[in-house]
Chain A
Amino acid sequence: MSSQFLTLLRRDLAQLFLGGRRGGALLPVLFFLAVAMLYPFAVGPDAPLLGKTGGGMIWVAALLAAILPLDRLIEPDLELGMFDQWALRGISEEWLVTVRMLAHWLSFGPPLMLAAIPASALVGIDGEKLRLVELGLLAGTPGLAALGVMIASITAGLRGGAALGGLLLIPLAVPLIVFGAGSLATGGTSGLALTGAFSLVLLAITPFAAGAAIREGRR
């Protein structure tokens, strides 16, 4: 079982980090930094205002960056017939989705947390706020990753699935951003705890929802 897990995880990581033809893990990070860079241009050189709103802007940028990899999470493997071959080998869709969630988070969460450091310099937020942003991203990105895999499974095979996926992700990610960015305003840990709790709910339901969606897609 563990060697099967490692084999699947290794392939998923290679697919998501290097991405073959579809961009890889670098694209969301660059997009995230580009939004952070644009923000001061749009708001103007008002340091107190930037410092006050910059943390929330980082959260919005992270959420938007989460939309970019949606179309290469599930769809390419469905097209290739990989999921059918795995099913014939008795590997359940729930298990495959769990592995993919982990791989997707690894290729998306930590790089975004690293990129938040230069982003915080661009929007001029202080160290204490940056600490809260990083903790919030640590609590929230697993939920974003789970949500991404769930939505990618549901929209895989649909025409315009990628655009639809983006539209579906935004409202479902609202609780994450409310509590995650909210922790910046209150400075408390309760917002972080609620972000983490919502992430855990998403992590728990995604394997079943996404697994059912992939099976239903075979009909």
Chain B
Amino acid sequence: MQECRIAANDLACRRGDRLLFAGLSFALESGQALQLVGSNGIGKSSLIRILAGLMPAYSGTVELAGSVGLVDERPALDPHLPLGKALAFWQRLDGAHDNRAAQLGLSDLMDVPVRYLSTGQKKRAALARLCGQAAPVWLLDEPLNGLDTRGTALVMDMVAEHCREGGIAVLASHQQFELSGMQRVELSAFLPSPSGKGRGWGFNADVVPPPQPLPSGEGLS
């Protein structure tokens, strides 16, 4: 697998007039994994989209080396096509790679139209699409949603193997993700409010003054 790297420098995200997080920095090298945790609405999905380059950051930069594979809540598979044909479309664009359909338990579903698949089966199909892409940087937005316990274990194994092979994985998930050596970023630590008020919802960017450094050596006596 090619060398890859993803780094966030002082990222801030603004949706509407709400600043969701600010001052977020991290750097991941080949073989490392990161879990983004935080309550609903705190900006996990927005951060994933910023890292993927699909959404501009309010401030800060993303450095990226290597191609990106994304799995989010939309499977990006044609709903009226049988699963096999829907996956084959991406296979033709990505070149022939192993999409691990068998390992993901999809072999028996290849003739079933995508719209008849369950939430968990669609998620597995999206993961098969991701594996076929052979992208070194994986961005996974809630990859465990809708998966049963076997599916969950499978995804954890896949991520672990991906990192062993030198890939990078960034996961946004509020579920416990067991992976040795995985870093965790708690997004609530990057709420721009010094008091942490309005936790999980952000707050109005225009009314909050930038944090002032404490005056040193004076005023306290």
Contact = CB atoms under 8 A, between A and B. Distances in A.
Interface stretch (A85-93, A128-136, A141-149): A85-93
Contacts, number: 56
B74 interface: yes
Interface stretch (B76-84, B153-161, B172-180, B183-191): B76-84
Given A88-B69, A89-B93, A81 B76 contact: yes
Contact of A88 (B70, B77, B89): B70
Q: Interface majority SS on A: helix, strand, loop or mixed?
A: helix
Given A88-B67, A88-B69, A219-B56, A81 B80 contact: no
Interface residues of A, number: 21
Interface string B73-106: 0111111100000000110111000000000000
For this complex, into which size category does the number of interface residues on chain B fall? 20 to 34
Contact of B55 (A81, A90, A218): A218
Given A3-B92, A4-B93, A88-B69, A80 B76 contact: yes
Interface string B27-55: 00000000000000000000001001111
A85 B76 contact: yes
A163 B68 CA distance: 37
Interface string B48-66: 0100111110000000000
A15 interface: yes
A70 B67 CA distance: 33
Contacts of B79: 20, 80
B10 interface: no
Contacts of A4: 93
B57 to A, nearest CB: 11
B157 to A, nearest CB: 24
B69 A80 contact: no
Given A7-B93, A91-B93, A219-B55, 7 more contacts: A80-B74, A81-B75, A84-B52, A84-B54, A84-B72, A85-B76, A88-B52
Shortest 10 CB-CB contacts between residues of A and residues of B: A81-B74, A20-B80, A81-B76, A7-B92, A85-B76, A88-B68, A82-B76, A80-B76, A218-B54, A84-B54
